Structure 1
Amino acid sequence: MQKPTTYQQLQPEDRITIATMRQRGFSVRAIARTLERAPSTIAREVARNTGAGQGYGSHHAQLRAVACRRNARGNSKMHAQSVCWGVVRTMLGWKWSPQQISATLKRVFPHQREFHVSHETIYTAIYAHARGELRRELIACLRHGHSTRLPRSRGTDRRGQIPDMISIHVRPPEVEDRVMPGHWEGDFIKGAGNKSSVGVLVERTSRLVLLARMEDATAASALAAFTAKLNAISAPLRQSLTYDQGKEMTRHAELAANTGVRVYFCDPHSPWQRGTCENTNGLLRQYLPKGTDLSVYSQEQLDAIADSLNTRPRATHHWLSPLQVYAAALASAHQPDTSIH
Structure 2
Amino acid sequence: MFARGQYNFNAQQLPMKDKRHPNGYVERRGKAGQLGRSIYQRYQDFPHDQDEFGHFEADTVQGKAHRGAVMTLVERQSKVMIVLNVHRKTDEAVNCHLDKWLSKMPRHLVKSITFDNGKEFAGWRDIANKHDIHTYFAEVGAPNQRGLNENNNGILRRDGLSKRLDFRNLPDELITQLMSYRNRISRKSLHYRTPVEVFMKNITDEQLSTFF
Q: Decide which of 38, 57, 66 is 1:185's aligned counterpart.
A: 57
Q: Which protein has the larger Cα radius of gyration, Structure 1 or Structure 2?
A: 1
User: Does residue 200 in structure 1 map to residue 87 in structure 2?
Assistant: no
Match of 2:36 among 141, 157, 165: 165
Q: Going by fraction, where is helix more abundant, 1 or 2? A: 1
In structure 1, C-alpha distance between the alignment counterparts of 2:65 and 2:85, rounded to whole Å = 17
**TM-aligned CA deviation for residue 167 of structure 1:** 0.8
TM-score, structure 1 length as denominator? 0.48
Q: Specify which structure has the higher proportion of strand.
A: 2
1:299 and 2:172 are equivalent in the alignment: yes
Tell me the CA shift for residue 315 of structure 1: 0.6
Question: Normalized against structure 2, the TM-score is what?
Answer: 0.76
Contact 1:195 1:216 in 2 (8 A): yes
User: Could you tell me how far 1:185 is from its partner in structure 2?
Assistant: 0.4
The structural deviation recorded for 1:172 is: 3.7
Q: Report the RMSD for the aligned CA atoms in angstroms.
A: 2.5
Distance 2:135 2:113 in 1: 5
2:54 & 2:148 partners in 1: Cα distance?
Answer: 14
Match of 1:326 among 173, 179, 199: 199
Q: 2:187 matched to which residue of 1?
A: 314
Look up the equivalent residue of 1:200 and give its one-letter code: T
Q: 2:134 aligns with which of 258, 262, 281?
A: 262
Decide whether the 8 Å contact of 1:175 with 1:183 is kept in 2: no
Post-superposition offset of 1:299: 2.1
Q: Report the Cα offset of residue 262 of structure 1.
A: 1.4
> 1:244 and 2:110 equivalent?
no
Q: Deviations over 1:128-180 (max 9, x none)?
A: xxxxxxxxxxxxxxxxxxxxxxxxx9x9x9x9846861111111454665111
Secondary structure at the counterpart of residue 292 of structure 1: coil
Q: CA deviation at 1:229?
A: 1.9
Match of 1:273 in 2: 145
Q: Secondary structure at the residue paired with 2:51? A: coil
Q: Secondary structure at the match of 1:303?
A: helix
Shift of 1:298: 1.9
Residues 164/281 of structure 1: CA separation in 2 closer, same or farther (3 Å cut)? closer
Contact 1:206 / 1:323 at 8 angstroms: preserved in 2? Answer: yes
Q: Which residue does 1:285 correspond to in 2?
A: 157
**217-226 or 168-177: bigger deviation:** 168-177
Residue 201 of structure 2 aligns to a residue whose secondary structure is helix
Q: How many residues align?
A: 177
Task: Check the 8 A contact 2:70/2:84 in 1, yes or no.
Answer: yes
1:133-144 matches, within 5 Å, as none
Contact 1:162 1:250 (C-alpha < 8 Å) held by counterparts:
no
1:233, distance to aligned residue in structure 2 (A): 2.9
- Answer yes or no: is the 8 Å Cα contact 1:163–1:250 preserved in 2: no
SS in 1 for 2:73: strand
Where relative contact order (Cα < 8 A, 6+ residues apart) is larger, the structure is: 2
Shift of 1:216: 1.1
Residue identity matched to 2:135: V
Please give the secondary structure, in 1, of the residue aligned with 2:87.
coil
Task: Assess, with a 3 A threshold, how the Cα gap between structure 1 residues 255 and 228 changes in structure 2: closer, same or farther.
Answer: same
**Which amino acid in structure 2 is aligned with residue 249 of structure 1?**
F
What do the CA deviations read for 1:210-247 (whole angstroms, capped 9, x no partner)? 11111311110010011122232333431100011100
Q: Contact (CA 8 Å) 2:39, 2:114: kept in 1 or not?
A: yes
The answer as to whether partners of 2:80 and 2:183 remain within 8 angstroms in 1 is yes
1:210–1:229: 8 Å Cα contact kept in structure 2?
A: no
Select the residue among 199, 214, 217 that pairs with 2:89: 217
> Cα–Cα, structure 1 residues 162 and 176, in superposed 2: closer, same or farther, change >3 Å?
farther
